[in-house]
Homo-oligomer: A and B are copies of this chain.
Amino acid sequence: MAKEEKRDVDVAISIGVHPAVLLAAASSPPFGVSEYGVANKLLGGDLRLIKCEKVDAYAPAEAEMVLEGRISFEEEVEEGPFVDITGTYDVKRMQPVVEIVNVMHREDHIYQALLPGGPEHRLLMGIPREASVYEAVSKVVPRVRAVSFSNGGCGWLHAAVSIDKQTDGDAKNALLAAFAGHPSLKHAVVVDSDIDVFNLDEVEWAIALRFQAGEDLFVIPEVRGSTLDPSADQEKGLTSKMGIDATRPLGIPMENFEKAEIPESERASRISDKISRRLKEKSY
């Protein structure tokens, strides 16, 4: 809009902020909703902003450092290549120049940075999508336990969802809803609620023991996916999506799928507690 009106835009670039602010910045709210509003909500109403000294913009009061600048409506330079959440190089792009006109910072400030393509980057991008998928799946199955956007899936392309299912078909409905809840999602797996979706080993174990590829898998080819995926047809924006139902089939007796537990006597319990304590003391 500023470009159309041929005017520069004042901007505050804040470094070293509360994680809730980072998360809000990654949450892509609909047009018209301020990310500061989201952050304030996450902080229980405790977000404080300050006005910049030289430009007409606000910054979180707790920031370690604030760069006050102006985004040019006409001057552009080539930027990048940057690294995206996938950990691969993005293309170089023409981007508007930001002129820094003032810098505010705390005494002994820390320049906090986030390595692109690393787990921190993926976590911030993934958490808001976990919320979207949780909400979408909740509309079609009785109960959703948890949603995880894993690190290996770049916090963007893979979701694992645990549910309590009523019928064998619920898991596939949950998969359809997961894809509707985050259109860039490429692969999704649904597991029972005794599986911890934040533990890759457990999710893989469910796929090993509760999944039959001939019945519990569906593939949707040539559907719109993420532009970040290099294996997709990036010109046409097409990818394949895959859904995996790794929940127990209800027709097979429940105990065949039960995870064995090692019974622990009181004495064994005391010994293992003692060992744990010693290991902790040593490590500090």
Contacts and interface: CB of A to CB of B under 8 A. Distances in A.
Assembly stoichiometry (copies): 6
A264 B212 CA distance: 46
A173 B224 contact: yes
A213 B242 contact: yes
Interface residues of A, number: 83
Contacts of A54: none
B88 A222 contact: no
A209 B200 CA distance: 18
A265 interface: no
A36 to B, nearest CB: 23
A151 interface: yes
Shortest Cβ-Cβ A-B pairs, 3 listed: A152-B204, A169-B224, A214-B221
Interface of A: 83, 86-89, 115-117, 136, 139-140, 150-154, 157-158, 166-170, 172-173, 176-177, 179-181, 183, 186-187, 200-205, 207-215, 217-225, 229-232, 236-242, 248-252, 255-260, 262, 282-284
